[in-house]
Amino acid sequence: MKHCSTALAVILFCAFVLPGVAQTVPQGKPAESGKQLPLSLSPPKRVVPDSVRIEEIFVLSPADRELYRQIYAAQNRADWAEAERLIKRLDDRILVGQVLSDRYLSPRYKGSFDELARWMRNYSDLPMADRIYKLALNRKPPKAAAPTPPDPDSLTVTPPGRIYTPEELVRIRAARDARLEIQGFLDQGLTPQAEQRFWASGRNLFDKDQFSLILGKIAASYFYQGNDAKALALGTSSGAGTGKNRYNGNWIAGLSAWRTNDYRRAATSFEKAAIAADNEPWTASSAAFWAARARLASRQPEQVNVWLDQAARFPKTFYGMLAARQLGRDINFTWEHPPLTRRDYDRVLGEKAARRSVALWQVGQLEASDWEMRYLWRRSDETLHPLLLGLAARLDLPSTQIRVAKALDRKQILSSNSALYPMPTWTPKDGFKVDRALIFAFMRQESEFSIRAVSSSGARGLMQLMPKTASYIGRDQTLQDRNGEMLYDPSFNMQLGQRYIEYLMGKDYLGTNLFFVAGAYNGGPGNLGRWLQKMNFKNDPLLFMETIPAEETRDYVEKVVANFWIYQMRMGQKAPTLDAVAAGGWPMYNSQDRDM
């Protein structure tokens, strides 16, 4: 270990990189995290000249604003006659289409075909037009004309593709059939059969990209089943080619070599993976960080900082933050709202959908306002998107903010941390019992703050609760059937989601370990318990995370914990779990909100 004295960062790094040094799995007591490195506090917001102030954002007059609020209240009581009476008093009818769609889609109102068809003639450009159209078709009399269809989101012209020869078509179809068969074996955990099928046709049937991709998947399956020798051999073969899918094979080869204590080979594989990642933030930072770990473990400390520097280039990723911590660097984010000048605001309000969104925001219909803004974003010119982001930030529309901000950040048009990590004003029905940073971290990953999000498996709402889980936590069986709509209420959904997190933290084998809790929230506590018994993670917290056999859960744990750290930074809090993981320990949650 004498080499560790060459640099402060390496001294810090030694605590967590070598086998046997990692702490034992804690049973409730937070890990000692060592000296707290500085975190940036939220800076004061800079006032941008000519920036639009919140009090300047309005569409409706005070009188119409009050009328619309009364109309929505009447419809919530199913007082349709009163709503109609109030509608007739409106000067600005910009939200009448929204009001009527709420009525027609209500389970307490059965709209006639004529009403629905009339709505489609007048409001086919609204976000809910698809739902109204389907309802109208279901209620169309046999001889009635079909209703006006919804406006298409966009017209996409597909350029003509190349023309294949008959021989090429035969090979393409055979490759497709082989891929499906191999994937079927992998889905069933039949990895040897998948490998056998691959080699029966692989080199002759698949192109170099397909070859690397499929062989990498087979290697990964062996790794998560505990067969490191096979995973290392196939992962190395997968990563040795020139195809664009070399990352996964090298990554799996690196993990397999690490788990068998072959650290030099692990370092080589991780370095190849980092290069193959081609600057994709999450994969590049992961591979670079593990390359640094492996170089130190193989007694080559002079190469550690090179790879830590590479990982730290991506500060909003899990491993990027760990790398910055190990290098002793501050993690500095700015939290200013994206800009919106008066000229920008006037241009945005030239779009009718933007005016509807502002009007809906004025009358307290925040979900509909958010939906309208997202609908406009999908249909509008790209030059308008930074302006929409500025308006969405001022209206506190978190779902629009995160989606538009991600797209702009990915295209390197605009980067806005405050929009990437919005802080909605929703509160659990019984108040926050768990730190806001952690609740926001889960919501950001679960639904991206979409109130009516529904997964393919049926999970609902902001915190993506399965009705069965919600009924158990909420002790209300009706949440599985007639009262399932309650899960779309933000306060109620957050209340049950928070209770579920507390429930998981109360289990002895999970405790307050955030890796375990996040893994159980996504993969189920039963699965997490079985994985803990079967996985060979050598008591290494980071190897535990990378050894989780379910790909979705691995990604989920990494993203939720990274979200948590960034939200803590946004709130000006310390991040002791970041320090703990950087020091080789487990991320043991301890409330900071209660200490403020």
Q: How far apart are CA 201 and CA 138, in angstroms?
A: 49
Identity at 130, one-letter amino acid code: D
For the CA atoms of 531, 537, 540, 543, what is the dihedral angle to 10 degrees? -90
pLDDT at 191 over 70: yes
Per-residue pLDDT, averaged over 364-386, amounts to 94
**pLDDT in the model for residue 160:** 57
Please name the amino acid found at residue 224: Y
Q: pLDDT digit string (tens) for 84-122?
A: 999 999 999 999 999 999 999 999 999 999 999 999 999
CA-to-CA dists, residue 577 to 139, 571, 582, angstroms = 56, 15, 8
pLDDT of res. 161: 58
Alpha helices in 447-586 (DSSP H): 467-474, 490-505, 514-523, 525-534, 541-547, 551-570, 576-582
Q: Does 17 score more than 70 pLDDT?
A: no
Residues of the chain with pLDDT > 90: what percent? 81
In Å, the largest CA–CA distance within the chain is 88
496: amino acid identity, one letter: L
- Closest-CA residue to 271 (of 238, 237, 311, 233): 311
Per-residue pLDDT, 55: 84
Please give the structure tokens belonging to residue 320. 């990027």
Task: Report the predicted TM-score, pTM, of the whole model to 2 decimal places.
Answer: 0.87
Q: Is 446 a catalytic residue?
A: yes
pLDDT digits (tens, 9 = 90+) for 473-515: 999 999 999 899 999 999 999 999 999 999 999 999 999 999 9
CA distance 557 to 523: 10
For residues 448 and 450, give the distance between their C-alpha atoms in angstroms, rounded to a whole number.
6
Q: Of residues 446, 448, 502, 551, which has the active-site annotation?
A: 446
Give, for 325, the enclosing helix (H) or strand (E): helix 318-326
Residue 239 contacts by C-beta under 8 Å, 6 or more apart in sequence? 212, 216, 246, 247, 248, 249, 250, 251, 253, 269, 272, 273, 276
Phi-psi region of 367 (alpha: psi -120 to 50; beta: other; left: phi over 0): alpha
| Distant-in-sequence, close-in-space partners of 179: CB < 8 Å, separation ≥ 6 | 210, 214
User: Between vectors from CA 54 to CA 414 and to CA 442, what angle results, nearest 5°?
Assistant: 55
Tell me the average pLDDT across 433-445. 98
pLDDT value of residue 38: 37
Task: Please write the tens of the pLDDT for every residue from 311-345.
Answer: 999 999 999 999 999 999 999 999 999 999 999 99
User: Do residues 245 and 209 touch, judged by C-beta distance below 8 A?
Assistant: yes
Residue among 577, 527, 572 at smallest CA distance from 552: 527
Beta carbons within 8 Å of 400's beta carbon, 6+ residues apart: 370, 373, 374, 377, 388, 389, 392
Whole-angstrom distance, CA of residue 401 vs CA of residue 422: 7
Give the residue from 294, 237, 243 showing the smallest Cα distance to 268: 294
Are 64 and 90 a contacting pair, CB within 8 Å? yes
Q: What angle do helix axes 281-297 and 8-17 make, rounded to 10 degrees?
A: 90
